[in-house]
Amino acid sequence: MKHGILISDHEKAGGGGARRRTANTNANSEVAATRSTPAAALADANGTAPAPGGPKWTARRRRVVANLTGWSFAAPATLIILGLTLFPAAWAFLISREHWNGIAPARQIGWDNYRLMAQDPDFRSAVNHTVLFTVLYVPVVLVLGMFLAIALNRKIRFIAFYRTALFVPLVVSAAATGILANFVFDQQFGLANNLLRVLHLPRQGFLADRHEVMWVIALIYLWTDLAFSVIVYLAALQDIPTDCLEAARIDGANRWQQFRHVILPSLAPVTVFVGVWETISVLQIFELILTTTHGGPLGASQTIVYFIYNQAFNLSRYGYGSAAAYTLFGATLIITLGLFAYARRSKIEAF
Amino acid sequence: MMRRYSFSRWHLLLMPLSLVFLLPLVQMLLASFTSNADINRFPPRFFPSALHISGYVRLFRDAPVARWMLNSAIVSGIAIVSHLILCSLGGYAYARLSFRGRTVAFVTLVATIMIPTQMLMIPTYFMFSHLGLIDTLGAAFVPFLTSAFGVFLMRQFFLSLPKDLEEAGRIDGLTTFGVFFRIVLPLARPALATLAVFTLLNSWNDLLWPLIAINDPSKFTIQLGIINFQGAHHIDWQELMACNVVATAPLIIGFLVAQRQFVQTMSMSGLKG
């Protein structure tokens, strides 16, 4: 078998070599003859010496070399990324169908974790907090982000200061933000209650009050996160051709009409993008909860990802935690695709 | 014609808002220099009666903060170098080279952007444990070695470059690697700067991976360090705020120095998705 392949290869190579030789003689003998054999003309024009194996062998070798080169560029990044995303994603699904505390052997329990979850009041309240937070927060950040971007998109005095002041919280980590928030909203010494006292308003519990806690967390999150949507909107505003606005002005559009009919439509794709982005990140809010309230008081600020973290790393219920993680993943995916579908139907080219 | 810098009504909105946004950071800085007696006084005052550095002295005595900062610097340094190398190699492959499986691999890669990292924490924890990364700095930097977003960003940049220079390089006899390192990479400086800032922000500020994988205080990153420090010193506000100042200062200074680059990076992340 091996011999057979070798022989046939050799024959092919020989055949190719023979063809090449004839072509060369033709090319050497007469110019007219060269024109009649395109292969030789090509070989000469490229000025490359044909490989000893012949054209077919060379083509195959070239493809192998191209594949090797391509993959040696692409493989390191590709393998690491897939190894850190697809692989654990698949594994998480397997874990979600197990009863497992990380030490004792796992027990296969099918969909029991998911069934249990549907009846778990803690999980349900975590879902409620997260969904309510998302529904209230995302529209606010979209409107505020667009409004502030329009405000910052002009040449006025102090504009550099305004931009710096509004953007700087973006580089402050969730951990530092949480600790700072604990100080600012401290019931006795905090800046927030101090301001209320100066204004002769009643003192508030803030992070310690179960009815106020999610609102305060939304406010803190807005502080760290608003700059992102402002920056994205600002970049989009600067892409609007000035001709369009000028044309609208010449046609007699007032400020509001310019905004409504020129600016707003051209911001639609960015709005879809920022909306999806904010939805995904708010559905996963976790680090701020961990550094401020630990889900308290009395579970009033427990979000889905904090629930997952707590089940897995405090209670060692890895299977149950994974089931919750997968549920959130599925929900996120459906919401994201839904928003994209909505955008497509409204003829907004988001991406 | 509008006069430059005539009074704009937008100031009435922007000035108070800017001050409100800065207020927490200013208070953090002030509190780190205010004695606890001053902080705990009632009624509280915004400005301290005297400035003390005792908070910082106590901080560096009580906790290995310098070590945590060094750990974070190592993590971010490795993450940035690795990001720059792997993402530009990968981005170039997906922009310019043709090889088997290219389309499938690229589509899969971009699709993984949709998988949120927080949901992978349980299997990733066990993966780290199998790889022996628990209680090592590796747990903090391995997730940031490269990213689908980075590959995507570099690919978009390489696609925007004209092909002529690369072809000229080939005619001069350079190999694919030669073309990449001698011609393409020097042109990619703006994209690489964006990628570096992106990686710095993500890796320096990350809390999730060290949180689940590192228990040894000598291996803490600064973010994990301040969280644990808060747990242990929850009454000493001066020391806590000093700790917060130390943790946030590098990026805030970086932001003030290279604001344009930071803002550009953030708006480029608008490409993500």
To probe the interface with B, which of A62, A180, A203 has the most B CB atoms within 10 Å? A180
What CATH number does the domain containing A187 carry?
Answer: 1.10.3720.10
Touching check for B17 and chain A: CB below 8 Å? yes
Radius of gyration from C-alpha coordinates of chain A: 32
Q: Name the residue type at position A75.
A: A
Number of domains present in the structure of chain A: 2
Residues of B whose CB is below 8 A from A280: 116
Interface of A with B in 189-248 (CB under 8 A): 189, 191, 194, 197, 223, 227-228, 231-232, 234-235
Sign of the Cα pseudo-torsion (A295, A297, A299, A304, in order) = negative
Residue A103 has a CB neighbour count (10 Å cut-off) of 6
In this structure, the answer to whether residues A51 and A125 fall within a common structural domain is no
Residue B194 has a CB neighbour count (10 Å cut-off) of 22
In this structure, the answer to whether residues A211 and A330 fall within a common structural domain is yes
Q: What letter does residue A168 receive in the DSSP assignment?
A: G
Number of domains present in the structure of chain B: 1
In a domain, A89, yes or no: no
d(CA A84, CA A105): 24
In a domain, B19, yes or no: no
In a domain, B22, yes or no: no
In a domain, B18, yes or no: no
In a domain, A306, yes or no: yes
What CATH number does the domain containing B219 carry?
Answer: 1.10.3720.10
In a domain, A324, yes or no: yes
Contact B119 A325 (CB under 8 A): yes
In a domain, B181, yes or no: yes
In a domain, B31, yes or no: yes
Structural domain of B126: 27-40+52-271
Residues of B whose CB is below 8 A from A71: 93, 99, 101
Contact B123 A322 (CB under 8 A): yes
In a domain, A40, yes or no: yes
Contact B121 A228 (CB under 8 A): no
In a domain, A350, yes or no: no
In this structure, the answer to whether residues A233 and A295 fall within a common structural domain is yes
What average pLDDT is seen over chain A? 82
Counting every residue, how long is chain B?
273
Structural domain of A77: 2-84
**Which of the listed residues A84, A99, A118 is the one where a domain comes to its end?**
A84
Report how many Cβ contacts below 8 Å link chain A to chain B: 279
Tokens 């696609």 locate to: B159
ipTM confidence score: 0.90
Q: What is the pLDDT of residues A30-57, one digit of tens each?
A: 334 334 444 444 444 444 444 455 667 7
How many Å lie between the alpha carbon of B64 and the closest alpha carbon of chain A?
17
Tell me the pTM: 0.84
Q: pLDDT by residue for chain B (273 residues), tens digit each?
A: 445 556 788 898 999 999 999 999 999 999 999 888 888 777 777 788 888 888 899 999 988 999 999 999 999 999 999 999 999 999 999 999 999 999 999 999 988 888 888 889 999 999 999 999 999 999 999 999 999 999 999 999 999 999 888 999 989 989 989 999 999 999 999 999 999 999 999 999 999 999 999 999 999 999 999 999 888 877 788 999 999 999 999 999 999 999 888 888 888 765 433
Q: What is the pLDDT of residues B109-129, one digit of tens each?
A: 988 888 888 889 999 999 999
Contact A81 B109 (CB under 8 A): yes
In this structure, the answer to whether residues A67 and A156 fall within a common structural domain is no
Contact B254 A171 (CB under 8 A): yes
In a domain, A143, yes or no: yes
In this structure, the answer to whether residues A78 and A192 fall within a common structural domain is no
In this structure, the answer to whether residues A116 and A229 fall within a common structural domain is yes
Burial of A187 (0-12, 13-18, 19+ CB in 10 A): middle
Sign of the Cα pseudo-torsion (B54, B58, B59, B60, in order) = positive
Q: What is the pLDDT of residues B209-246, one digit of tens each?
A: 999 999 999 999 999 999 998 888 777 889 999 999 99
| Cβ B194 vs Cβ B261: under 8 Å | yes
